[in-house]
Structure 1
Amino acid sequence: MVESSSSSAAARSGQAPSSQGPSGTSRPAGAGRPGGVARVSAADAKQVKLHPVGLSRITDLFKPHKWRILVVVLLISVASVIGLAQPFLIRAIIDDALPQQNTSLLAWLAGGLVVVAAATAAIGVVQTWMATKMGQKVMHTLRTRLFAHLQSQSLGFFTRTRGREVQSRLTNDIAGMQSVVTSTATSVASSLTTAVATAIAMVALSPRMSLLSLVVLPPAIWLSRKVALMRRNITNARQQELAGMYTQIEEGLSVSGIRLAKTLGTTGRDVERFAGSSSRLIDLELRSQLAGRWRMATMSVVFAAIPAAIYLAAGFPATSGSMSIGTLVAFTTLQAMIFMPIMGLLNVGVQWVTAMALFSRIFEYLDLEPEVKAPVDPVDLDPARVEGRVRFEGVGFAYHDGTEVLHSIDLVLAPGTSTAIVGPTGSGKSTLGALLPRLHDPARGRITIDGLDVRQIPTEVLTRIVGVVSQETYLIHASIRENLLLADPGAGDAMLWKALASAQIADLVAGLPDGLDTLVGARGHRFSGGEQQRLAIARTILRNPKVLVLDEATSALDNNTEALVQDALDSLRVGRTTLTIAHRLSTVEDADHLVVLDSGRIVEQGTPAKLRAANGAYARLVAASAERLSEPVS
């Protein structure tokens, strides 16, 4: 299992393995910059080493598109060859048409230049469309597979892994791979074919001048890469600073972030920290722009020096070989054309590592084995016919780090009864409740519903049988109606209002200007905690589960709000087998059965009245609770 601690810091910041700009788009390092340069990222190299990906797994993704790939490569090759006709047409214009004043030939040759340009442009459009469509289909397949696979992971995976890390792999890495597929791959193919074809054409025009190019090109390429590397380092520093600034904005200007800053009085420090980051960006931006100007100046010198050296060589009989003016112009054109492809090919190694790092990060998550596995032989069970008899048989549980939480739990929940679980903090109450809906699976023993192991019940069926209301209510940023329909997409308005009435919140919703279409806001922040809780209860009522888990559903509420929510819960419990994880002992007095946990073991169970009279663990919890309530408020 992958934990956030094993992920690169660069990846968590949203930078590696792709360079991310202010717009949030990703691209492989060095891609899309003529004459640009790339350097292997340490994070990319480490990722590939830790989780190598076989080439066969990548090629499998593209097998359904092999004919499209073949056509794209063919189009790139054709475009490269057609593009080489331009220098030869120019040579014919200069050496033949103009000296001979042959207007007919001149017209044909000039028209040929336009046709060549139009043909290469048209082929480029078709090639781009085909490559992009193929890349999008491959990314769609990967994106959907990854999302579905991550949803199959247990709750433990998400508690151990940073949410931003998961989101980064699903969005930034997939977007980076899209660039690799549709941009970098076609760029490499184009560079290779152009460089080879141009070199052949140069030799055909002038073997002597081609030998001269072997002397001129290497120092020009070295100088260009040297300056580009300088800008690359500065740009990386700027991108990291920007990533830090975006994190500050996200954390500092969210609803929760603003609330935290205002309650802790950190707004001044937050502004100071943001100003410091913004100030550092000034220097980095200046250095980046100057480095960019140096790079452009270097490229200008290179592009001026290469034809200058050729013109100079053409003036000496020993090197020119009686070259015509047309041939000279054509050769210098080809010389300029070969520079960029060679620069692009020099980055192939880095682009390969970058691409493999992206695939590695995606496949690393796809290779995760779900801790809560889907049933191998699922049983055919009708939720409407479930009685709701729940049994815990010798259940034990340990977290991922090996910490034992539950030990040999034996417990029976009779159909239609209410069982409350109480105990000190850390006794394993919430963990026990999380095992029933399979948010986790027990390490030992089993849990059954009507005699069937919950691990044999299909997930979609189990979610209709077991409903959960926890203290951490989650409402999506949508309308009340949309939040309720998550439980039952086919429910009509009458059913929605009935559920809201049972949850003691129908009058409040009816009084809102937009009623059911009222937007709940981010995480439901437009409503109070008690209102959010009752909306969640209404959603669970719509689901109509036979077994109910109430995980400290009222622990974070004040007394008045708790009373309203408790009424809603009382309506919800009717006719259902209920397992209540209780924090406030006052909420369990009407339970049919009470279980006391301590250090993951059942130390006492019975009716509340019987356990109070026994003067055991439960009686001590009641006494401690009464003592806390009697303490004067300072």
Structure 2
Amino acid sequence: MVFGGGPGGGMGGGGVRMRDQPKLAPGQRPDVHRMLSLFRPYRATLVGVLLLIVLAAAIGVVSPFLIREIVDVALPQQRADVLAWSVGGLIAVTVVSNALGVTQAMLSTRVGQAVMHDLRVSVFSHLQRMGLGFFTRTRTGEIQSRIFSDIGSMQAVVTSVMTQIVSAGAGVLMALVAMVALDWRLTLFSLIALPFAVWMNRRVGRRRREIVRTRQEKAADLSAGIQESLSVSGILLGVTMGRTEALTRTFSTDSRELADLEVRSTMAGRWQMAVFTTLMALFPALTYLLGGHLLFADPPGQGVTIGTLVAFIALQSSLFPQLNGLLRVANQVSSSLALFTRIFEYLDAPILIQDAPEAVALDPATVRGRLRFEGVTFTYPGAEEPALAGLDLVVPAGKHTALVGATGSGKTTTGYLMARLYEPTAGRITLDGHDLREITRESLAASIGVVTQETYLLHAGVADNLRFARPDASDEELEAACRIAQIHDHVMGLPEGYDTVVGERGYRFSGGEKQRLALARTILRDPPVLLLDEATSALDVATERAMSGALAAAARGRTTVSIAHRLSTIRHADQILVMEQGRIVERGTYDELVTAAGPFAELARQDAWREDGASG
């Protein structure tokens, strides 16, 4: 599609696609053993399924021998007793086989769905622990495609194909044993085409595996494009830029390519399989011809009899469809390896930010909030120059520290490192003397509350959005947090109050209202450290001034770090750090820095000019 999903993404005529995904190394093959290991927790149930399959296959080969008794004994000798028990046996075999089949299908489906559940949860849990950098490089639609489309496409393989392979394999084996018992010569003749079928199946499997992987990548592109272009932001961008027709044309092209790949995937090897199926259909007639010659040549009562020939044809008629189905299912499994590979790529993606083996869980109630950077250097993946270079700073506990500077100076990066959304490339960051890498991520998140300039609200009620921070919060606590954030009166004016659905990404609210809700959500957690990354950037000057007192009250007694372009919001900060190119170039209070007539004074002059222009 035509939207990029990360840094550098945008709208273009030919479309922007990200391909920063983990891949198999050249020549590396999908790990079949790893795929089978998914079933390991359900070994006991699988053993039961396998026993049912083998039992059903063994019972299934009894029918031809009963047919031989009817043809060779019951009918020629007019033996009513033999006819009765043979027919009864045929009925019993049918009933028992069907009952075993239903039971086996139920158990195998349960196991398959349990494996699907485990796989979905594993991928989701793994992605939850991936660093922020992974998601800045990966489109949301691509992730959704792998979790839903890829795993969904694997469902048939996981839930039924494995048991089909075992069932068909057991059926083929039992049929071959029974056929050899009837006549080994006819059995050898029946297997003439088997090597050709195996060779053809392997060749088709390789082709289909390549097509399936390409098809899933194209489906992921399409899914990502839909997610981006049909979101509220995407619609606004497309309409205001006059790109709706171009978007439709690009979508049509991608959809047509996907349709072509679906056709190729479906038809891959169909002609070869049709030739094989035709040969298999001819074999019963040829077997009658060979069997007739053997019947004429063998002494009467020895070798091939009419009953033997009829029973053999019955076995052969069940063998060939099972053999054909076994090859077809094996081909399907071979194709599905591409899907497993895509899922394993995500599961194998390294988690760059995780708890140390002996990480400690801090009690937020005891955290004082002193943060310290010691020689911290950080470089974004793929970047040539570091965003921070040898940064040293101290954020005193219980004080208000502000980070200011031009765009790209490293302010937000510093804040993200404080919240451990990224790991330093070098150096270390401490909270009350504890290296952040030695603190559990859960307790760190409870100790440092973050409000970013990118406000995200769930498509749910106001109360549900607030309780995302504290599920056990009472209604009174919700209202208290909203009063501090100056949003309570607005919420009470909505049609359903705190139960009002905010809309996708909060589009029922203005930018300032969304940011005030985000502030209330963080205040509700009552963290000892408050990190505000342009948290008031969407507020007008009047609303921002009205909130300043409330924010000051919320910040009292806790460490507050403000990242700001609008310098009026940090006028009363205890410490202001001015950053340029990942380094601190000035420190001091607002008045001290203005008097110094350095970089901060220039920023203050530009800020005052912008505010004068806005008020005018």
Q: TM-score range by the shorter chain?
A: 0.7 to 0.9
Q: What is the CA–CA distance in structure 2 between the aligned matches of 1:354 and 1:13, rounded to whole Å?
A: 25
- The DSSP-based 3-state class of the residue aligned with 2:427 is strand
Q: Which residue of 1 aligns with 2:366?
A: 385
1:74 counterpart letter in structure 2: L
Corresponding residue SS for 2:419 = coil
- Residues 1:463 and 2:445 are matched in the alignment: yes
Question: Aligned ranges for residues 390-409 of structure 1 at < 5 Å?
Answer: 390-401=371-382, 403-409=385-391
Equivalent in 314, 332, 339 of residue 313 of structure 2? 332
What SS does the corresponding residue of 2:387 show, helix, strand or coil? strand
What is the CA-CA distance between 1:571 and the residue it aligns to? 4.5
What is the aligned partner in structure 1 of residue 10 from structure 2?
Answer: none
Task: Name which of 474, 481, 491 aligns with 2:463.
Answer: 481
Q: 1:546 aligns with which of 528, 536, 552?
A: 528
Deviations 1:394-439 (A, max 9, x none): 3222223363121232222233322111111111100101111111
1:436 aligns with 2:418: yes
Q: Distance in 2 between matches of 1:232 and 1:458?
A: 42
Distance 1:174 1:231, change over 3 A: closer
Gaps of 5+ in 2: 8-16
Residue in structure 2 matching 1:123, options 72, 80, 100 = 100
2:288 is aligned with 1:311: yes
Q: Which runs of 5+ in 1 are unaligned?
A: 6-11, 18-42
Question: Equivalences for 1:268-417 in 2 at 5 Å?
Answer: 268-276=245-253, 301-302=278-279, 304-317=281-294, 321=298, 323-346=304-327, 361-379=342-360, 381-401=362-382, 403-417=385-399
Q: Which residue in 2 is equivalent to 1:517?
A: 499
SS where residue 185 of structure 2 aligns? helix
Q: Distance in 1 between matches of 2:18 and 2:91?
A: 48
- 1:520-572 Cα distance to aligned partner (Å, 9 max, x none): 22222222222211111111111001111111123345545655665654453
- Describe the shift of the 1:241–1:93 C-alpha distance in structure 2 as closer, same or farther (beyond 3 A): farther
Which residue does 2:12 correspond to in 1?
Answer: none
SS in 1 for 2:403: strand
Q: Would you say the 8 A contact 1:223–1:298 is kept in 2?
A: no
**Following superposition of structure 1 onto structure 2, how do residues 253-268 of structure 1 map, counting pairs within 5 Å?**
253-268=230-245
* Deviation of 1:272 (Å): 3.2
**Quick one: structure 1 residues 514 and 612, their matched pair in 2 at CA, closer, same or farther if it must change by over 3 Å?**
same
Q: Cα–Cα, structure 1 residues 298 and 431, in superposed 2: closer, same or farther, change >3 Å?
A: same
Contact 1:47 1:357 in 2 (8 A): no
Residue equivalent to 1:615: 597
Partner SS state of residue 312, structure 1: helix
- Which residue of structure 2 lines up, in the alignment, with residue 536 of structure 1? 518
Cα offsets for 1:375-408 (capped at 9, x unmatched) = 4333453312333233333322222336312123
Cα distance in 2 between the residues matched to 1:578 and 1:242 = 45
TM-score (norm 2): 0.83
Post-superposition offset of 1:239: 7.7
Identify which of 575, 585, 588 aligns with 2:557: 575
Moved more, 252-261 or 592-601: 252-261
- Alignment check: 8 A CA contact 1:135 1:178 kept: yes
Return the offset for 1:141.
4.1
Q: What are the superposed Cα offsets for residues 578-601 of structure 1, whole Å, 9 maximum, x if unpaired? A: 111112233222322211100111
Q: Which residue of 2 aligns with 1:70?
A: 47
The equivalent residue for 1:151 is 128
Deviates more, 1:312-321 or 1:546-555: 312-321
Q: Judging changes above 3 Å, is the alpha-carbon distance between structure 1 residues 171 and 613 closer, same or farther for their aligned structure 2 residues?
A: same
Residue 89 (structure 2) aligned to one of 112, 127, 145:
112
The structural deviation recorded for 1:256 is: 2.5
- Structure 2 partner of 1:183: 160
User: In the alignment, what sits opposite 1:599?
Assistant: 581
* CA distance in structure 1 between the partners assigned to 2:207 and 2:125 by the alignment: 42
Measured after TM superposition, the shift of residue 470 of structure 1 is: 0.4
> Secondary structure of the equivalent of 1:334?
helix
Which shifted more, 597-606 or 556-565?
A: 556-565
- Cα separation, 2, equivalents of 1:139 and 1:158: 24
Q: What TM-score, normalized to structure 1?
A: 0.81
Alignment RMSD (CA, Å) = 4.1
CA distance in 2, matches of 1:96, 1:378: 80
One-letter identity of the residue aligned with 2:592: K
Specify the SS of the correspondent of 2:455: coil
* Cα 1:258–1:52 shift into 2, 3 Å: same
Following TM superposition, by how much is the alpha carbon of 1:618 offset from its aligned partner in structure 2, in angstroms? 0.8
Picking from 178, 184, 192, the partner of 2:169 is 192
For residues 280-309 of structure 1, what are the alpha-carbon distances to aligned partners after superposition, in whole Å with 9 as ceiling and x for unaligned? 788888999999997897677445422222
Identity %: 48
- Separation in structure 1 between the aligned mates of residue 360 and residue 219 of structure 2, nearest angstrom: 53
Deviations 1:195-219 (A, max 9, x none): 2221121222233322332346667
The answer to whether the 8 Å contact 1:227/1:298 transfers is no
2:378, 2:426 within 8 Å by CA — same for their partners in 1?
yes
* Matched-pair contact (CA < 8 Å) for 1:228–1:295: no
Which is worse superposed, 303-312 or 477-486? 303-312
Distance 1:278-1:327 versus aligned 2 partners, 3 A rule: same
SS in 2 for 1:316: helix
AA partner of residue 572 (structure 1): A
Query: What is the alpha-carbon distance in structure 1 between the residues aligned to residue 186 and residue 94 of structure 2?
Result: 26
How far the C-alpha of 1:335 sits from its partner, in A, is: 1.5
